[in-house]
Amino acid sequence: MAVFNTVGGQILELSLGGHQIIGGYGGQDARSQVFGYTMAPWPNRLDGGSYQFRSQNYQVEKLDADRNAIHGLLLDSEMEVVSHKKHSLTLLYSFGQDPSYPFALDLEIHFELEEDALLVTSTATNNSGHSIPFAIGFHPYFTLGEQFEVKSDFTHRIEADSRMIPNGETKISGLAIDQNSPELMALDDCYYGSDEVRVTTNHFEYSVTALENMNYFMLYRPLTKVFEGSSALAIEPMSHPTDVFNSDISSSEIAAGDERVFSYEIRIR
């Protein structure tokens, strides 16, 4: 069972194999916690809400308290339903109207539900007539329960300043945290070097696996309530790291007329 919202390509609920993986939202403001939304055309934060592309400066008007533009432009955007079947949903959004990202790009998101998995496949098609930057991320929150373990074979953690803008990286030998880990309360970090995050709870185990062109994971432990009666963790597969439009915008470019596929999978074990 899965529940979606056409605003922001949002995943609201997900049950696999008879277990609830993503519970219904139990907080005060789903948008402020980016509950289940798709982050595009950049994931996470954009420093100062500005970037330069082809010698042209672009500025996002709406900034947070740290003067960052956060989580892209889809959070308030209604996506078109292209196809809706019993076990699948395809949504479409056409970028190009916002002056901070005036590039003609079609983003199609396809959700395919199986008994034991949800496959999310996004296709970005550049209709601009020249190469353009594009990056994407997803912000699902997963249920943990009272006892849990989160593991991955990550090789690097990206360090960030007080405004959550990357300023370096550290080599690590994997990640392993549980309900007693002291770093859990301040967890808000980006990692790379592994394509899978595994979560074990009291009753079941599931994984979030990056498939095509998804090379980074952001892990975020919210300090406020997200689910009713259960703790939560955001496990966010991303195509690029935070602030990529300022640090390495060329790595995000899609050539004129080309398309790029980004996909990930949530699977119960």
Q: What are the φ/ψ torsions at residue 229 (nearest 5 degrees)? A: 75, 15
For residue 208 the two structure tokens come to 């979030």
pLDDT (0 to 100) of residue 178: 94
Furthest-apart CA pair in the chain: how many Å? 54
Average pLDDT across the chain, whole number: 95
pTM, to two decimals? 0.95
- For residue 154, which of 168, 175, 124, 178 has the smallest C-alpha distance? 175
3-state class (DSSP) for residue 184: helix
Please confirm whether the linkage preceding 166 is cis (ω < 30° from 0). no
Report how far residue 15's alpha carbon sits from residue 17's, in angstroms, rounded to the nearest whole number: 7
Mean pLDDT in residue range 46-70: 96
| pLDDT surpasses 90 at 17 | yes
pLDDT bucket at 3, cuts 50 / 70 / 90: very high
Bridge partners of 122, per DSSP, are 109, 262
164, 45 Cβ separation under 8 angstroms: yes
DSSP state of 242: T
158, 235 Cβ separation under 8 angstroms: no
| Fold exhibited by the domain 2-144+223-268 | Beta-galactosidase; Chain A, domain 5 (2.70.98)
pLDDT (0 to 100) of residue 231: 82
Alpha carbon separation from 240 to 17, 27, 57, 212 (Å, rounded): 31, 28, 21, 12
The pLDDT tens digits for 176-209 are 999 999 988 889 999 999 999 999 998 899 999 9
